[in-house]
Homo-oligomer: A and B are copies of this chain.
Amino acid sequence: MVLKNRTIKKRSSKAGLPPGTLVHVGEKKANNIRITYLDYDEQNFEEKSFAKIEECFPFKTTPTVSWINIDGLHDVEVVEKLGKEFELHPLIMEDILNTGQRPKLEDFDKYIFIVLKMLSYDGEKESIEAEQVSFVLGKNFVISFQERIGDTFEQIRDRIRNAKGRIRKMGPDYLAYALIDAIVDNYFVILERLGEKIESMEEEVIGDPTEKTVQQIHSLKRQMISLRKSIWPLRELIGGIRKSESSLINETTDFYLRDVYDHTIQIIDTIDSFRDMVSGLLDIYLSNISNKMNSVMKVLTIIATLFIPLTFVAGIYGMNFEYMPELKVRWAYGAVWLIMITIAVIMLFYFRRKKWL
């Protein structure tokens, strides 16, 4: 929800500006912009960190695969300069800076632009945090933009550094795939957390539901809705890369994309069945409340129907009429007790037959 409204606020605050105006829309999540640079081919490997964006421009034309990663988007100028140098369309740069994008793919002839959501689970707040990651995939480079320092790409960097797997032998399209794959793989971690939460919620609902339970179920539902919204467009996106027939995507990479595509569908499937489960939780909760009410009612009814008639009998012989012959009879008191006990026993039998006891 937080994520949701923030997105809209961001956009609504921009309403009316000419399209293509570069403004960073979103929270400032990093203090400094960090520019890192990885350059590799099968034999060579180089890793650098820059203070100024201009320093990485010379690498633009090298035949090796270059991966420029920018952490932090609040310095509009950096993005602008980079965009000019790499001839990015102004609306692309606007999209990079506006962190309220829907995941999407745009295929230009010279480069492919991809926007994704990187999710992380904040254990303390019990909420899912989303960070926008954009990729520009060019002929021999990948530029990635992140909102803050820290990502799920460390293992990819390791693979490049140590020439693990086939990444060093492949082109920038494989790198882009690897980055997307890392993000999608990370969704499984989020799903696992949600799955655990649903299971613990389930035990709570069955065992000992409190008045807060509905709200928690509701909040789980909302997390599912916003998660689905972040992931659903991915399916189309990856399908789009595969269908794009862009010269930037190698045929061998296509097979790997198919793999990510399968994972995306699996994730969406899982979210959908999670939603069904959460809806089921609400049903259990509501029928639990009904059951409790029912058992409260039964106790009340048993006590009341047991004692009200008896109290009436006692009331009768508490009357002060002068002429009440029973009052004088010696065994009358005992008889009244007998009558009362009989009534009570009949009642109890009745309750047992009705299965209230």
Contacts and interface: CB of A to CB of B under 8 A. Distances in A.
Interface of A: 1, 4-5, 7-9, 11-12, 14-21, 89, 91, 100-102, 104, 106, 152, 154-155, 159, 164-167, 178, 181-182, 185-186, 188-189, 191-192, 195-196, 199, 206, 211, 214-215, 218, 221-222, 225-226, 229, 255-256, 258-259, 262-263, 265-266, 269-270, 273, 276-277, 280, 282-301, 303-305, 307-312, 314-324, 326-333, 336, 354, 356
Copies in the assembly, this chain: 5
Contacts of A19: 165, 178, 181, 256, 259
Contact of A18 (B159, B311, B332): B159
B155 A17 contact: yes
Given A15-B185, A218-B284, A299-B354, 14 more contacts: A5-B196, A8-B191, A15-B152, A16-B154, A19-B256, A225-B276, A282-B287, A286-B287, A289-B294, A303-B308, A303-B309, A304-B305, A311-B311, A318-B318
23 contacts: A1-B277, A4-B195, A4-B273, A18-B178, A19-B165, A19-B181, A19-B259, A214-B283, A215-B284, A221-B276, A221-B280, A225-B276, A282-B283, A296-B298, A299-B354, A300-B300, A300-B301, A304-B305, A310-B315, A312-B314, A315-B318, A320-B327, A323-B332
